[in-house]
Amino acid sequence: MKKHIVCFGDSNTHGYCADPSDTADGGNRFNEDERWTCVLQKLLGDGYLIIEEGLSGRTTVFDDPIHGDLAGLDYITPCLMSHEQVDLLIIMLGTNDTKDRFCASPEVIGIGMQRLIRKAQSTLCWSEKGPNILLVCPPPIGDQLKDPAMGVHCAERSRGLPKTFADAAALTGARFMDAGDCDFNKIDFMHLSRKGHDQLAHKLAALIPELI
């Protein structure tokens, strides 16, 4: 059986494209030759199965009072069980947790990530090696972002996530990778560009064989 890798994230895992000129299809989602999950599949080859589980707006644990049904904590167990046996879970969340309406500091977001990781670890979905989780911290939101739905403090909060997420990984026994050097677009300053998707895929492809 192939090694099953579940990629659990938000719009940056779903492949949202804020700049239609940045994708060959000219739409608002990067295509199968551009999304980091799909590029990662090509880089790792046939011995791996990359499973896309990206949902725009997803948080770690927070219930969104506007959109609803977006808390990763509520979906992580059925998600993992539907893909058993899982050899590696990649979690890349946190951007949406910085929204002003949640009023969550980086430290609180880090605690939410710990809870999400522990719930994933306790799910009966893993291969014989047991729970295996890689926590990826997304790049910080740019100060240029002007989005009332995100609020005015999201960029500042996002800059605190690498430390609190590294701490969350250490406390739970997860692995940690900071994707802060991956390129963001210059339209909304919080979504990966096509270049950023490629950079992230290559960083992960270099790391994953050491984790499985």
pLDDT at 146: 86
What domain range is 134 assigned to? 3-211
Average pLDDT over residues 186-202: 97
Which residues, 6 or more positions from 191, have their beta carbon under 8 angstroms from its beta carbon?
11, 12, 16, 17, 18, 184, 185
Q: Cα torsion for 10, 23, 29, 103, to the nearest 10°?
A: 40
> CATH code at 170?
3.40.50.1110
Identity at 172, one-letter amino acid code: T
Question: What total number of domains does the chain contain?
Answer: 1
pLDDT of residue 54: 98
How confident is the model over 86-103, as a mean pLDDT? 98
What is the model's pLDDT at position 79? 98
pTM of the predicted model, to two decimals? 0.97
pLDDT for residue 179: 98
Q: What is the pLDDT of residues 104-163, one digit of tens each?
A: 999 999 999 999 999 999 999 999 999 999 999 999 999 998 889 999 999 999 999 999
Distance CA 18, CA 192 (A): 9
Q: Which residues pair with 184 in a beta bridge?
A: 192
In tens, the pLDDT along 61-94 reads 999 999 999 999 999 999 999 999 999 999 999 9
Confidence (pLDDT) at 120: 98
In sequence order, the 6+-apart residues with CB closer than 8 A to the CB of 144 are 186, 189
